[in-house]
Amino acid sequence: MANKTAFRKSDNQEEVNMNKTVFLGALTVAGLAAGASAAATLDDVKARGKLNCGVNTGLVGFAAPDANGVWEGFDVVVCRAVAAAVLGDANAVEFVPTTAKTRFTALSSGEVDLLSRNTTWTFSRDTDLKFDFVGVNYYDGQGFLVPKALGVSSAKELDGATVCIQTGTTTELNLADFFRSNNISYEPVPIETNAEGQQQYLAGACDAYTTDASGLASTRAAFENPGDHVILPEIISKEPLGPLVRHGDNDWGDIVRWTLNALITAEELGITSANVAELASARGSNPEINRLLGTEGDLGAMIGLDNEWARRAIAAVGNYGEVFEKNIGEKTPIGLSRGLNAQWTNGGLLYAPPFR
Protein backbone atom coordinates (compact mmCIF):
# COMPACT_ATOMS: atom_id res chain seq x y z
CA MET A 1 0.00 0.00 0.00
CA ALA A 2 2.85 2.29 0.92
CA ASN A 3 4.46 1.66 -2.44
CA LYS A 4 1.22 2.37 -4.31
CA THR A 5 0.79 5.62 -2.38
CA ALA A 6 4.35 6.63 -3.09
CA PHE A 7 3.79 5.84 -6.76
CA ARG A 8 0.67 7.94 -6.91
CA LYS A 9 2.44 10.89 -5.26
CA SER A 10 5.34 10.60 -7.67
CA ASP A 11 2.94 10.36 -10.60
CA ASN A 12 1.00 13.40 -9.38
CA GLN A 13 4.21 15.33 -8.87
CA GLU A 14 5.24 14.64 -12.44
CA GLU A 15 1.86 15.95 -13.58
CA VAL A 16 2.27 19.07 -11.42
CA ASN A 17 5.75 19.66 -12.80
CA MET A 18 4.44 19.18 -16.35
CA ASN A 19 1.61 21.65 -15.70
CA LYS A 20 4.08 24.17 -14.28
CA THR A 21 6.26 23.76 -17.34
CA VAL A 22 3.31 24.28 -19.67
CA PHE A 23 2.11 27.30 -17.63
CA LEU A 24 5.54 28.91 -17.54
CA GLY A 25 5.93 28.17 -21.25
CA ALA A 26 2.62 29.92 -21.91
CA LEU A 27 3.79 32.92 -19.91
CA THR A 28 7.00 33.02 -21.90
CA VAL A 29 5.10 32.87 -25.19
CA ALA A 30 2.72 35.58 -23.95
CA GLY A 31 5.67 37.71 -22.89
CA LEU A 32 7.36 37.26 -26.25
CA ALA A 33 4.09 38.09 -28.01
CA ALA A 34 3.69 41.25 -25.92
CA GLY A 35 7.28 42.21 -26.72
CA ALA A 36 6.70 41.56 -30.40
CA SER A 37 3.51 43.64 -30.24
CA ALA A 38 5.41 46.52 -28.64
CA ALA A 39 8.08 46.42 -31.33
CA ALA A 40 5.52 45.87 -34.08
CA THR A 41 3.56 49.05 -33.36
CA LEU A 42 6.50 51.35 -33.97
CA ASP A 43 7.73 49.23 -36.86
CA ASP A 44 4.27 49.12 -38.42
CA VAL A 45 3.85 52.89 -38.18
CA LYS A 46 7.23 53.43 -39.81
CA ALA A 47 6.59 50.85 -42.52
CA ARG A 48 3.11 52.24 -43.19
CA GLY A 49 4.45 55.78 -43.30
CA LYS A 50 1.54 57.11 -41.29
CA LEU A 51 -0.04 56.95 -37.86
CA ASN A 52 -3.57 55.60 -37.48
CA CYS A 53 -5.17 57.67 -34.74
CA GLY A 54 -8.63 57.22 -33.22
CA VAL A 55 -10.47 60.49 -32.55
CA ASN A 56 -13.97 61.75 -31.83
CA THR A 57 -16.57 61.71 -34.60
CA GLY A 58 -16.79 65.46 -34.16
CA LEU A 59 -16.27 67.73 -31.15
CA VAL A 60 -15.37 71.28 -32.14
CA GLY A 61 -12.15 72.44 -30.53
CA PHE A 62 -11.08 68.92 -29.66
CA ALA A 63 -11.44 66.87 -32.84
CA ALA A 64 -13.36 67.82 -35.97
CA PRO A 65 -12.63 68.28 -39.68
CA ASP A 66 -12.58 71.86 -40.96
CA ALA A 67 -14.33 73.09 -44.11
CA ASN A 68 -11.61 71.46 -46.22
CA GLY A 69 -11.82 68.14 -44.41
CA VAL A 70 -8.59 68.69 -42.47
CA TRP A 71 -8.80 67.38 -38.91
CA GLU A 72 -7.94 69.86 -36.18
CA GLY A 73 -8.41 70.28 -32.44
CA PHE A 74 -6.88 69.79 -29.02
CA ASP A 75 -6.90 65.96 -29.18
CA VAL A 76 -5.93 65.90 -32.85
CA VAL A 77 -2.72 67.74 -31.95
CA VAL A 78 -1.53 64.77 -29.86
CA CYS A 79 -1.75 62.57 -32.96
CA ARG A 80 0.09 65.12 -35.08
CA ALA A 81 2.82 65.58 -32.45
CA VAL A 82 3.46 61.83 -32.30
CA ALA A 83 3.56 61.63 -36.11
CA ALA A 84 6.08 64.48 -36.20
CA ALA A 85 8.23 62.80 -33.54
CA VAL A 86 8.17 59.36 -35.18
CA LEU A 87 7.80 60.08 -38.91
CA GLY A 88 9.01 63.66 -39.20
CA ASP A 89 5.67 64.74 -40.64
CA ALA A 90 2.75 66.02 -38.53
CA ASN A 91 0.41 65.42 -41.46
CA ALA A 92 1.25 61.73 -41.77
CA VAL A 93 -1.87 60.74 -39.85
CA GLU A 94 -4.94 58.76 -40.82
CA PHE A 95 -7.73 59.96 -38.54
CA VAL A 96 -10.28 57.31 -37.62
CA PRO A 97 -13.54 58.73 -36.18
CA THR A 98 -14.81 56.61 -33.28
CA THR A 99 -17.89 56.75 -31.08
CA ALA A 100 -17.97 56.08 -27.34
CA LYS A 101 -18.99 52.51 -28.19
CA THR A 102 -16.49 51.79 -30.97
CA ARG A 103 -13.37 53.55 -29.65
CA PHE A 104 -12.08 50.71 -27.46
CA THR A 105 -12.67 48.04 -30.10
CA ALA A 106 -10.78 50.14 -32.63
CA LEU A 107 -7.79 50.31 -30.30
CA SER A 108 -7.77 46.73 -29.03
CA SER A 109 -8.21 45.30 -32.54
CA GLY A 110 -5.25 47.26 -33.89
CA GLU A 111 -7.34 49.38 -36.22
CA VAL A 112 -5.72 52.41 -34.59
CA ASP A 113 -2.25 52.76 -33.05
CA LEU A 114 -3.35 55.39 -30.57
CA LEU A 115 -6.64 56.69 -29.19
CA SER A 116 -6.74 60.42 -28.55
CA ARG A 117 -10.41 61.03 -27.95
CA ASN A 118 -11.57 62.79 -24.73
CA THR A 119 -11.42 59.46 -22.87
CA THR A 120 -11.46 59.27 -19.08
CA TRP A 121 -8.67 57.36 -17.34
CA THR A 122 -10.36 54.88 -14.98
CA PHE A 123 -9.32 51.79 -13.05
CA SER A 124 -11.36 49.34 -15.13
CA ARG A 125 -10.27 50.76 -18.48
CA ASP A 126 -6.64 50.63 -17.41
CA THR A 127 -6.82 47.09 -16.00
CA ASP A 128 -9.87 45.14 -17.17
CA LEU A 129 -9.88 46.51 -20.73
CA LYS A 130 -6.09 46.17 -20.92
CA PHE A 131 -5.18 49.68 -22.01
CA ASP A 132 -2.37 51.98 -20.91
CA PHE A 133 -3.20 55.64 -20.43
CA VAL A 134 -0.02 57.56 -21.14
CA GLY A 135 -0.95 60.72 -19.25
CA VAL A 136 -3.59 63.41 -18.86
CA ASN A 137 -3.90 66.11 -21.47
CA TYR A 138 -7.08 67.64 -20.01
CA TYR A 139 -8.39 67.61 -16.43
CA ASP A 140 -12.16 67.74 -16.67
CA GLY A 141 -15.39 66.99 -14.84
CA GLN A 142 -18.98 66.18 -15.77
CA GLY A 143 -21.51 68.99 -15.97
CA PHE A 144 -24.98 69.88 -17.26
CA LEU A 145 -26.14 72.08 -20.14
CA VAL A 146 -29.69 73.47 -20.05
CA PRO A 147 -31.70 76.12 -21.92
CA LYS A 148 -31.96 79.41 -20.07
CA ALA A 149 -35.69 79.19 -20.63
CA LEU A 150 -35.83 76.14 -18.36
CA GLY A 151 -35.29 78.55 -15.47
CA VAL A 152 -32.95 76.43 -13.34
CA SER A 153 -29.68 77.55 -11.80
CA SER A 154 -28.55 74.28 -10.23
CA ALA A 155 -28.45 70.64 -11.28
CA LYS A 156 -30.22 69.83 -8.01
CA GLU A 157 -33.32 71.49 -9.50
CA LEU A 158 -33.52 68.90 -12.30
CA ASP A 159 -35.85 66.54 -10.44
CA GLY A 160 -37.90 64.62 -13.00
CA ALA A 161 -35.96 66.03 -15.96
CA THR A 162 -35.14 64.16 -19.15
CA VAL A 163 -31.37 64.03 -19.68
CA CYS A 164 -29.50 63.26 -22.91
CA ILE A 165 -26.50 61.04 -22.17
CA GLN A 166 -24.00 59.16 -24.31
CA THR A 167 -24.08 55.41 -23.77
CA GLY A 168 -20.88 53.51 -23.07
CA THR A 169 -19.33 56.38 -21.12
CA THR A 170 -18.40 57.12 -17.51
CA THR A 171 -21.13 59.77 -17.47
CA GLU A 172 -23.88 57.16 -17.15
CA LEU A 173 -22.82 55.98 -13.69
CA ASN A 174 -21.90 59.51 -12.59
CA LEU A 175 -25.37 60.73 -13.53
CA ALA A 176 -27.10 57.90 -11.67
CA ASP A 177 -24.94 58.46 -8.58
CA PHE A 178 -25.59 62.22 -8.55
CA PHE A 179 -29.37 61.94 -8.79
CA ARG A 180 -29.49 59.10 -6.28
CA SER A 181 -27.33 60.91 -3.72
CA ASN A 182 -29.55 64.00 -4.04
CA ASN A 183 -32.77 61.94 -3.82
CA ILE A 184 -34.10 63.20 -7.14
CA SER A 185 -35.16 61.36 -10.30
CA TYR A 186 -34.48 61.67 -14.02
CA GLU A 187 -35.32 59.99 -17.29
CA PRO A 188 -32.31 59.15 -19.49
CA VAL A 189 -32.41 59.78 -23.23
CA PRO A 190 -29.67 57.53 -24.69
CA ILE A 191 -27.49 58.88 -27.51
CA GLU A 192 -24.40 57.53 -29.23
CA THR A 193 -22.54 60.61 -30.50
CA ASN A 194 -22.17 64.23 -29.54
CA ALA A 195 -23.79 65.26 -32.84
CA GLU A 196 -26.85 63.18 -31.97
CA GLY A 197 -26.90 64.62 -28.46
CA GLN A 198 -26.79 68.17 -29.82
CA GLN A 199 -29.60 67.41 -32.24
CA GLN A 200 -31.81 65.79 -29.61
CA TYR A 201 -31.17 68.53 -27.09
CA LEU A 202 -31.97 71.34 -29.53
CA ALA A 203 -35.08 69.48 -30.68
CA GLY A 204 -36.36 69.46 -27.09
CA ALA A 205 -36.10 65.67 -26.67
CA CYS A 206 -34.33 66.27 -23.35
CA ASP A 207 -34.32 69.04 -20.78
CA ALA A 208 -30.58 68.78 -20.14
CA TYR A 209 -27.48 67.41 -21.80
CA THR A 210 -24.73 65.96 -19.63
CA THR A 211 -21.12 65.13 -20.54
CA ASP A 212 -17.66 66.49 -19.72
CA ALA A 213 -17.82 70.23 -19.09
CA SER A 214 -15.33 70.84 -21.89
CA GLY A 215 -17.59 68.91 -24.26
CA LEU A 216 -20.56 71.01 -23.18
CA ALA A 217 -18.62 74.19 -23.91
CA SER A 218 -17.71 72.85 -27.34
CA THR A 219 -21.30 71.80 -28.05
CA ARG A 220 -22.75 75.14 -26.96
CA ALA A 221 -20.23 77.05 -29.10
CA ALA A 222 -21.67 75.35 -32.18
CA PHE A 223 -25.24 76.53 -31.45
CA GLU A 224 -26.81 79.31 -33.50
CA ASN A 225 -27.63 81.15 -30.25
CA PRO A 226 -25.15 79.90 -27.63
CA GLY A 227 -26.19 82.64 -25.20
CA ASP A 228 -29.59 80.97 -24.83
CA HIS A 229 -28.00 78.04 -23.01
CA VAL A 230 -26.13 77.78 -19.71
CA ILE A 231 -23.73 75.29 -18.17
CA LEU A 232 -24.86 74.73 -14.60
CA PRO A 233 -22.27 75.27 -11.81
CA GLU A 234 -22.13 71.69 -10.51
CA ILE A 235 -19.18 69.53 -11.58
CA ILE A 236 -20.14 66.05 -10.39
CA SER A 237 -17.06 63.95 -11.19
CA LYS A 238 -13.35 63.78 -11.89
CA GLU A 239 -12.65 63.16 -15.58
CA PRO A 240 -8.92 63.00 -16.29
CA LEU A 241 -8.86 62.77 -20.08
CA GLY A 242 -5.89 61.44 -21.99
CA PRO A 243 -4.47 59.40 -24.86
CA LEU A 244 -4.14 55.62 -24.53
CA VAL A 245 -2.49 52.64 -26.17
CA ARG A 246 -2.81 48.86 -25.83
CA HIS A 247 -1.28 46.87 -22.97
CA GLY A 248 1.94 45.27 -24.13
CA ASP A 249 2.87 48.21 -26.35
CA ASN A 250 5.36 49.42 -23.74
CA ASP A 251 7.90 50.86 -26.16
CA TRP A 252 5.16 52.52 -28.16
CA GLY A 253 3.52 53.78 -24.97
CA ASP A 254 6.80 55.42 -23.95
CA ILE A 255 6.92 57.32 -27.24
CA VAL A 256 3.37 58.65 -26.92
CA ARG A 257 3.79 59.40 -23.20
CA TRP A 258 6.98 61.38 -23.61
CA THR A 259 5.75 63.23 -26.67
CA LEU A 260 2.86 64.53 -24.56
CA ASN A 261 5.31 65.30 -21.74
CA ALA A 262 7.52 67.17 -24.20
CA LEU A 263 4.68 69.57 -25.06
CA ILE A 264 3.93 70.13 -21.37
CA THR A 265 7.58 70.64 -20.42
CA ALA A 266 8.15 72.94 -23.39
CA GLU A 267 5.59 75.37 -22.02
CA GLU A 268 7.16 75.27 -18.56
CA LEU A 269 10.61 75.96 -20.01
CA GLY A 270 9.44 78.71 -22.38
CA ILE A 271 10.03 76.72 -25.57
CA THR A 272 7.56 77.61 -28.34
CA SER A 273 7.02 76.69 -31.97
CA ALA A 274 8.52 80.08 -32.82
CA ASN A 275 11.76 79.83 -30.84
CA VAL A 276 12.46 76.07 -30.75
CA ALA A 277 14.84 76.15 -33.72
CA GLU A 278 16.77 79.09 -32.29
CA LEU A 279 17.05 77.45 -28.85
CA ALA A 280 18.25 74.22 -30.40
CA SER A 281 20.94 75.91 -32.49
CA ALA A 282 22.08 78.15 -29.63
CA ARG A 283 22.42 75.30 -27.10
CA GLY A 284 22.08 77.48 -24.02
CA SER A 285 22.95 76.97 -20.38
CA ASN A 286 19.76 75.14 -19.34
CA PRO A 287 20.64 71.42 -19.48
CA GLU A 288 17.00 70.23 -19.52
CA ILE A 289 16.23 72.38 -22.57
CA ASN A 290 19.31 70.94 -24.25
CA ARG A 291 18.31 67.36 -23.42
CA LEU A 292 14.71 67.92 -24.55
CA LEU A 293 15.80 69.43 -27.86
CA GLY A 294 18.46 66.78 -28.43
CA THR A 295 21.55 68.97 -28.34
CA GLU A 296 22.83 67.22 -25.24
CA GLY A 297 22.61 63.61 -24.10
CA ASP A 298 21.00 60.75 -25.99
CA LEU A 299 17.35 60.54 -24.86
CA GLY A 300 16.06 59.72 -28.33
CA ALA A 301 17.95 56.43 -28.49
CA MET A 302 16.23 55.32 -25.27
CA ILE A 303 12.85 55.28 -27.06
CA GLY A 304 14.04 54.13 -30.47
CA LEU A 305 14.05 57.57 -32.09
CA ASP A 306 16.66 60.14 -33.06
CA ASN A 307 17.54 63.01 -30.76
CA GLU A 308 15.42 65.59 -32.59
CA TRP A 309 12.06 63.83 -32.01
CA ALA A 310 10.79 66.28 -29.37
CA ARG A 311 12.09 69.27 -31.30
CA ARG A 312 10.04 68.18 -34.32
CA ALA A 313 6.88 67.68 -32.24
CA ILE A 314 7.13 71.13 -30.63
CA ALA A 315 7.95 72.84 -33.93
CA ALA A 316 4.96 71.17 -35.59
CA VAL A 317 2.23 71.84 -33.03
CA GLY A 318 3.63 74.21 -30.39
CA ASN A 319 3.86 73.72 -26.64
CA TYR A 320 0.90 72.74 -24.47
CA GLY A 321 -0.08 76.35 -23.82
CA GLU A 322 -0.06 77.20 -27.51
CA VAL A 323 -2.18 74.15 -28.28
CA PHE A 324 -4.68 75.04 -25.55
CA GLU A 325 -5.08 78.68 -26.51
CA LYS A 326 -5.36 77.99 -30.24
CA ASN A 327 -8.01 75.28 -29.96
CA ILE A 328 -10.09 75.75 -26.81
CA GLY A 329 -8.77 78.82 -24.98
CA GLU A 330 -10.65 81.89 -23.80
CA LYS A 331 -10.22 83.69 -27.14
CA THR A 332 -11.81 80.84 -29.08
CA PRO A 333 -15.56 80.14 -29.41
CA ILE A 334 -15.07 77.31 -26.86
CA GLY A 335 -13.87 79.89 -24.32
CA LEU A 336 -12.23 77.64 -21.72
CA SER A 337 -9.91 79.04 -19.06
CA ARG A 338 -6.83 77.09 -18.06
CA GLY A 339 -8.10 76.30 -14.54
CA LEU A 340 -6.83 72.89 -13.44
CA ASN A 341 -4.99 72.66 -16.75
CA ALA A 342 -2.61 75.47 -15.87
CA GLN A 343 1.01 74.61 -15.20
CA TRP A 344 1.77 73.50 -11.63
CA THR A 345 3.77 76.71 -11.24
CA ASN A 346 0.54 78.68 -11.89
CA GLY A 347 -1.75 76.80 -9.53
CA GLY A 348 -2.84 74.05 -11.94
CA LEU A 349 -2.29 70.30 -12.08
CA LEU A 350 -0.17 70.24 -15.24
CA TYR A 351 3.14 68.60 -14.39
CA ALA A 352 5.52 66.49 -16.46
CA PRO A 353 8.33 64.30 -15.11
CA PRO A 354 11.84 65.65 -15.78
CA PHE A 355 13.76 64.92 -18.95
CA ARG A 356 16.90 63.35 -17.55
Say whether both 308 and 260 belong to one domain. yes
Contact yes or no for 256/174 (Cβ under 8 A): no
Residue 93, φ and ψ in degrees, nearest 5: -135, 135
Residue 168 has pLDDT above 90, yes or no: no
Domain that holds residue 303: 46-139+241-346
pTM for this one? 0.85
Cβ neighbours of residue 136 closer than 8 Å, sequence gap 6 or more: 121, 240, 241, 242, 349
Question: Of 34-48, 170-184, 238-252, 306-320, which gets the smallest average pLDDT?
Answer: 34-48
When pLDDT is averaged across residues 187-208 and rounded to a whole number, the result is: 94
Q: Are 107 and 182 contained in the same domain?
A: no
Give residue-wise pLDDT tens across range 231-259.
Answer: 999 999 999 999 999 999 999 999 999 99
* 116/136 Cα distance (integer angstroms): 11
The answer on 183 and 123 residing in a single domain is no
Residue 121 in domain: yes
**329 and 189: one domain?**
no
State the DSSP H helix or E strand holding residue 7, giving kind and residue range, or none if neither: helix 2-48
Q: Which of 207, 222, 237 is the last residue of a domain?
A: 237
Question: What sign has the CA pseudo-torsion 29, 82, 84, 73?
Answer: positive
58 found inside a domain: yes
Distance between CA atoms of 327 and 137, rounded to whole angstroms?
13
Residues 189 and 109 in one domain: no
Q: Is 355 helix (H, G, I), strand (E, B) or coil?
A: coil
Q: What is the CATH number of the domain that holds 207?
A: 3.40.190.10
Lowest mean pLDDT among 35-49, 104-118, 267-281, 288-302: 35-49
Enumerate residues 6+ apart whose C-beta is below 8 A from 328.
61, 62, 74, 214, 217, 218, 334, 336
Structurally, the chain folds into a number of domains equal to 2
212 and 66 share a domain?
no
Residues 319 and 176 reside in one and the same domain: no
Q: What angle do CA 241, 122, 179 make, to 5 degrees?
A: 90
Shared domain check, 297 and 166 = no
Q: Which of the listed residues 190, 221, 237 is the one where a domain comes to its end?
A: 237
Please indicate, yes or no, if residue 110 is contained in any of the structural domains. Answer: yes
Residues 133 and 258 both lie in one domain: yes
Residue pair 325/319 in contact (Cβ under 8 Å)? The answer is: no
Q: In this predicted model, which residue has the larger pLDDT, 284 or 204?
A: 204
Please identify, among 237, 270, 299, the residue that sits at the C-terminal boundary of a domain.
237
The predicted pLDDT at position 28 comes to 37
**pLDDT tens digits, 288-316:** 999 999 999 999 999 999 999 999 999 99
Residue 173 and residue 114 in one domain: no
Closest by CA position to 336, among listed 228, 254, 216, 233: 216
Instruction: Note the pLDDT tens digit of each residue in 83-107.
Output: 999 999 999 999 999 999 999 999 9
* Residue 12 covered by a domain: no
